[in-house]
Structure 1
């Protein structure tokens, strides 16, 4: 099963993220916020799991792993900041669509960088068993990940320390917004 391999799992998620961008862009005006919420959630959870599981492993396993991961973390931080700004300003902001395009470009460039410089090299130097274990760890990390962007938490340690409390706050915020009819 493809999802048992961490690289296939993450690449499938990259495809899902592309689909979610399309969904936001094609949504009717009354559905944009809901679609953008799904995109925000997916990006936040996906990046947190990569930061906690994949990047630390790549640092240790890959030649120049520190450099490869540092480049990816810089890209992730930039995308998180863009996403946070979009989320904070809301879908009715005058520059929402322009900034969404900027976010999409940044996220897609980041995904290509991961696939080319990190994932391909990880596949070459890891066993099937390692990739399956990493996939299980990624799925577990996603259950505890924050559902909103939190720039500055791009390390495994910061994610492990701050992730669960942020996730609880994010999820509580979602419940409250739904109860108030705002999301």
Structure 2
């Protein structure tokens, strides 16, 4: 992920990318290594996206949008549920009977979150911010995603300043683990 453009264009591109991966998961007839690789890729993308939103998007929502604290808190709560599901998926054997229901629950949670952001949050943000502010946020989101963790860490802080301080270090460790194991390379 890292598509360019303002924050809304960037995040909507991420949404479409994850939806495409979910479509590929649903179309798979079997399990095994190919499914694990795709679940790992979805996890990487969702974690990076969430961390970047928590570092920059939601603080901007709090600052610029009327009722922004309530909106941001709800979005962070959505992320928490998704991250816990991702952690469970990471620990679940691909052949387990639990895998399919967990994947469906993840897809449902993410779809509801995407729908809410695109229908509610993004229009409010577009109205509250200047085009330059949206472009600047897009740049910050892209930088954050490049340094973000790639694995779920449900107990990690989700609000600044702690998340901005810890995420790059955790991201470095995650990317090192991914390099050694080959995770996310397919």
Q: CA 1:154–1:90 in structure 2 vs 1: closer, same or farther (change >3 Å)?
A: farther
Contact 2:92 2:98 in 1 (8 A): no
Gaps of at least 5 residues in structure 2 are none
Structure 2 counterpart of 1:165: 169
Q: Which residue of 2 aligns with 1:4?
A: 5
Q: Which residue of 2 aligns with 1:143?
A: 146
TM-score normalised by L of structure 1: 0.91
Please list every run of 5 or more consecutive structure 1 residues that lacks an aligned counterpart in the other structure. Answer: none
Superposition map of 1:1-183 within 5 A:
3-27=4-28, 28-29=30-31, 30-152=33-155, 153-178=157-182
Once the two structures are superposed, residues 123-165 of structure 1 have per-residue CA deviations (whole angstroms, 9 ceiling, x without a partner) of: 0111111111111111000111000111133213232122112
Partner Cα distance (2:143, 2:175) in 1: 17
Q: CA deviation at 1:24?
A: 2.2
CA RMSD, 1 decimal? 1.7
Between the two proteins, the alignment pairs up a number of residues equal to 179
* SS state at 1:12 partner: helix
Moved over 6 A (4+): none
Partners of 2:25 and 2:163 in 1: CA distance:
27
User: What TM-score, normalized to structure 2?
Assistant: 0.90
